[in-house]
Amino acid sequence: MDLPRIFTIRESEHRIHNPFTPDKLATLGRSLRLPAGTRVLDLAGGSGEMLCTWARDLGFTGTGVDISTLFTEQARARAVELDVADRVEFVHGDAAGHVSDTPVDLAACVGATWIGDGVAGTVELLQRSLRPGGMMLIGEPYWRLTPPDEETAKACHATGPDDFLSLPGLIESFGDLGYDVVEMTLADQDSWDRYSAAQWLTMRRWLDANPDDEMAVQVREELTTEPARYTRYTREYLGWGVFALMRR
């Protein structure tokens, strides 16, 4: 049980596996106005940067669950580095279907709604771990600009223009599920660059160190094509944000 290796090669040097910078992650945490001692469940939480920094800066506690062996190891090391290992724990496991044994104050899935087969299923999954009156975080893409055709949508790693909503449409969809949107923090093109462009140097250095690896051909193909694809399509058309929700 693990992520495909190509994903961990690309993002092995990332602490944040989405289009947020440390400043945006900190802004999101402060914006929630939750007290020290807030209990968090972070599903598909990657290398644990959100949970670890919020434990350090905001006094939160909690558990992160991720399917990647590498990212789980990095999260545990980060907790030790930031001296919060007594407040957070990281579990290697499949976040799909994971429900906390004890209700939490904040349940999050920041950028991995495939664990619930989409936004609606992920919202339902997170709700199962929340205490009454608790808050959830959903990280999700949306169209900054509507793709003019299917080719453009596929170049943004969508199957077609209907895969994502506009920003107003996404927010309205949360209302249709019975939730108030009570906060949001959005990526911008600069923070997208820090997520995507940083992968190129990681791939190049990996190739230099592993020229005979069985993955080298695939990594070389990605490094050759990805900068132009990203700047032509994803950077222009795709937005991303984290939305704080409370049940009505």
Residue 146 vs residues 120, 125, 164, 204: alpha-carbon distances, Å: 22, 29, 9, 32
pLDDT of residue 21: 98
pLDDT digits (tens, 9 = 90+) for 23-79: 999 999 999 999 999 999 999 999 999 999 999 999 999 999 999 999 999 999 999
Q: How far apart are CA 220 and CA 232, in angstroms?
A: 19
Q: How far apart are CA 119 and CA 109, in angstroms?
A: 10
Task: Tell me the Ramachandran region of residue 33: left when phi exceeds 0, alpha when psi lies from -120 to 50, beta otherwise.
Answer: left
pLDDT digits (tens, 9 = 90+) for 90-114: 999 999 999 999 999 999 999 999 9
β-bridge partners, 183? 244
pLDDT digits (tens, 9 = 90+) for 162-204: 999 999 999 999 999 999 999 999 999 999 999 999 999 999 9
pLDDT of residue 3: 87
> What's this model's pTM, rounded to 2 decimal places?
0.96
What are the tokens at 55?
A: 């434990």
Tell me the average pLDDT of the chain. Answer: 97
Nearest to 17 by CA among 82, 83, 66: 66
- Name the DSSP letter for residue 82: T
pLDDT digits (tens, 9 = 90+) for 70-84: 999 999 999 999 999
Strands of the sheet with 88-92, listed across from one edge: 88-92, 61-66, 39-43, 104-110, 130-143, 238-247, 179-186
pLDDT digits (tens, 9 = 90+) for 123-153: 999 999 999 999 999 999 999 999 999 999 9
pLDDT of residue 10: 97
Nearest to 45 by CA among 14, 24, 5, 80: 14
pLDDT of 206 above 90:
yes
Instruction: State the virtual CA torsion across 239, 28, 105, 66 in degrees, nearest 10.
Output: 60
